[in-house]
């Protein structure tokens, strides 16, 4: 397997300028629309070590929906369910199953973020809106991106409450030990046939992102299936959105399977960073999280490919953790099986030891593993 050609990973001038009109401080939170937020919240606490943070529902004056907010270090998840028939959230869940509705970005100025992006062609989702309570105020605005996914801009410098106005502190007696998840490293979107360039162009033109790297179907193909991918990043590199589209292969691409079951474009995976992937994955496995496996043969020549690493190979092999290297260092990564009934979203755990890339050297081994799962679902 080839190593990553890293020359395109340096941020371009164009990329640095992006910070001028849309400075992004980081990912504020990710909101999922789910069928049963109460039980989903328990899953993310018990299996993934998230801590309860905030709540909004009937008790806070909402009539038709409920949201639980969970946090682990810098990662915040919002799980939202409808309380009555009909309405937008039900329609979303009916169409897509549980999935990511909003990737919320933390900004200094939500009104300016809205102006700058809509001026450049973004479709409005939420006009700048100020919400207040006794802890201060938050300004929110939003634009549409691929599928029914949206970006919310969150300006929270004048707010000191647990999450945002409308939410109260959520303090159940149950607490699960965190598993060492630190921050969102990247979030990947799957889009339809021939739509990758359209959406990469959207991130470039509307949000000022630049392309970090691209992979074509020669990089990402197995004997049977293929996909193409480009990684878009904002100016300071804190936000990275790879965009995938299916490519022609002898059998059905995993991206096509996703699009079919999600009923359109959407978030394929959230990659979360840890400082100790062996400990994190050991904890997750104990709590029942299921990961893709690679054949033992992967580990026979992996060190020839990636060179010396700090970790012992034995626990990596035991846990099925993959290794890749680029010009700047190496990375360790592992992918869960889909975490929902529909074969749609999954989670990646990544530990970067200098590497800024995405594990290209692992694609083939990984996709052969995904194909084995697809075959078992009868969707290959
Ligand atoms: Fe990834």
pLDDT tens per residue across span 12-34: 555 555 557 999 999 999 999 99
The pLDDT, as a whole number, for residue 3 is: 32
**% helix, strand, coil for the chain, step of 5:** 30, 35, 35
**Ligand 1 center–CA 87 separation, angstroms:** 33
Q: Which of 72, 46, 77, 70 is nearest to 286 (CA)?
A: 46
| 228 and 302 housed in the same domain | yes
- Res. 5: pLDDT tops 70: no
Spacing, Cα 348 to ligand 1 middle (Å): 6
**pLDDT per position as a tens digit, 313-357:** 999 999 999 999 999 999 999 999 999 999 999 999 999 999 988
Q: What is the distance in A from the centroid of ligand 1 to the CA of 335? A: 8
Distance 347 CA to ligand 1 centre (A): 8
Same-domain pairing of 96 and 206: no
Last residue of a domain, one of 144, 169, 194: 169
Residues 206 and 134 in one domain: no
Residue 364 belongs to some domain of the structure: yes
Q: Residue 339 is part of a domain; what is its CATH number?
A: 3.10.180.10
Q: How far apart are the C-alpha atoms of 136 and 164, rounded to whole Å? A: 9
Ligand 1 center to 358 CA (angstroms): 6
Q: Which two tokens stand for residue 53?
A: 């943070």
Confidence of residue 208 (pLDDT cuts 50, 70, 90): very high
pLDDT for the residue numbered 1? 30
Distance 187 CA to ligand 1 centre (A): 7
In a domain, 175, yes or no: no
Indicate whether 339 belongs to any domain: yes
**What is residue 217's predicted lDDT score, i.e. its pLDDT?**
67
> 193 and 309, same structural domain?
yes
pLDDT value, residue 18: 57
Q: Are residues 31 and 101 in the same domain?
A: yes
Residue 2 lies in a domain: no
Question: Which of 49-63, 84-98, 297-311, 343-357 is predicted least confidently?
Answer: 297-311
Neighbours of ion ligand 1 (CB under 5 A): 271, 348
Question: Is pLDDT at 238 greater than 60 in this prediction?
Answer: yes
Flag whether 242 is in a domain: yes
Residue 369 alpha carbon to ligand 1 centre in Å? 15
Residues 190, 242 within the same domain = yes
CA 342 to ligand 1 centroid distance, Å: 19
- Does 10 map to a domain? no
Residues 177-183, mean pLDDT to the nearest whole number: 98
Whether residue 338 sits in one domain with residue 236: yes
User: Whole-angstrom Cα distance, residue 41 to residue 39?
Assistant: 5
Residue 26 CA to ligand 1 centre (angstroms): 17
pLDDT more than 90, % of the chain: 76
pLDDT computed for residue 312 by the predictor = 96
pTM, two decimal places: 0.93
Range of the domain at 286: 181-377
Q: Which of 169, 199, 220 is the last residue of a domain?
A: 169
- CA terminus-to-terminus distance, the chain: 23
* Ligand 1 geometric centre to CA of 269 (Å): 7
| 271 C-alpha to ligand 1 centroid (Å) | 5
Tell me, yes or no, whether 113 and 216 share the same domain.
no
Would you say residue 147 lies in a domain? yes
Domain count for the chain, please give it: 2
Q: What is the band of 62 on the pLDDT scale with cuts at 50, 70, 90?
A: very high
Confidence band of 311 (pLDDT split at 50, 70, 90)? very high
> What percent of the chain is predicted at pLDDT more than 70?
93
User: Is residue 9 one of the residues assigned to a domain?
Assistant: no
Average the pLDDT over each of 107-121, 188-202, 208-222, 228-242 and give the range with the smallest value. 208-222
Looking at the structure, do residues 147 and 198 belong to the same domain, yes or no?
no
Ligand 1 centroid distance, CA of 242 (Å): 8
Whether the per-residue pLDDT at 6 is higher than 70: the answer is no
How far apart are the CA of 297 and the centre of ligand 1, in A? 23
Domain shared by 163 and 106, yes or no: yes
Query: 159 with 193, same domain?
Result: no
The residue among 169, 196, 216 that closes a domain is 169
Q: Say how many Å lie between the CA of residue 231 and the centre of ligand 1.
A: 10
Distances in Å between the Cα of 6 and the Cα atoms of 180, 201, 243, 355 are 29, 21, 18, 10
Mean pLDDT for the chain? 91
């Amino acid at each position: 397997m080839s190593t990553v050609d890293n020359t395109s990973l340096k941020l371009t001038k164009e990329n640095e300028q992006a910070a001028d009109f849309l400075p992004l401080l980081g990912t504020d939170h990710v909101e999922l629309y789910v069928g049963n937020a109460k039980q989903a919240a328990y899953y993310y606490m018990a299996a993934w070590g998230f801590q309860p943070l905030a709540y909004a529902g009937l008790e806070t004056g909402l009539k038709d929906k409920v949201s639980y907010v969970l946090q682990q270090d810098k990662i915040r998840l919002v799980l939202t369910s409808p309380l009555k028939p009909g309405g937008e959230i039900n329609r979303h869940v009916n169409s897509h199953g549980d999935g990511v509705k909003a990737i919320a970005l933390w900004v200094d100025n939500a009104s300016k973020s809205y102006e700058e992006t809509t001026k450049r062609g973004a479709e409005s989702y939420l006009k700048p809106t100020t919400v207040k309570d006794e802890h201060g105020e938050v300004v929110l605005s939003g634009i549409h991106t691929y599928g029914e996914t949206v970006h919310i801009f969150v300006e929270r410098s004048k707010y000191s409450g647990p999450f945002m106005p409308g939410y109260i502190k959520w303090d159940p007696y149950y607490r699960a030990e965190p598993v060492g998840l630190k921050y969102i490293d990247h979030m990947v979107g799957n889009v339809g046939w021939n739509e990758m360039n359209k959406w990469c162009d959207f991130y470039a033109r509307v949000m000022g992102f630049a392309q970090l790297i691209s992979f074509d179907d020669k990089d990402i193909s197995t004997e049977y299936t293929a996909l193409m991918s480009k990684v878009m990043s904002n100016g300071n590199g804190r936000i990275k959105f790879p965009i995938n589209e299916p490519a022609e292969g002898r059998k059905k691409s995993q991206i096509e399977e996703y699009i079919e079951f999600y009923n359109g474009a959407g978030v394929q995976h959230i990659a979360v960073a840890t400082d100790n992937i062996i400990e994190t994955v050991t904890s997750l496995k104990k709590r029942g999280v299921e990961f893709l496996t690679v054949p033992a043969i992967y580990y026979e020549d992996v060190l020839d490919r990636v060179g010396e690493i700090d970790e012992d190979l034995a626990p990596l092999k035991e846990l099925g953790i993959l290794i890749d290297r680029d010009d700047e260092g190496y990375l360790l990564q592992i992918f869960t099986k889909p975490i929902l009934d529909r074969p749609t979203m999954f989670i990646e755990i990544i530990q970067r030891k200098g590497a800024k890339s995405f594990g290209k050297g692992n694609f083939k081994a990984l996709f052969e593993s995904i194909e084995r799962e697809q075959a078992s679902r009868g969707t290959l």
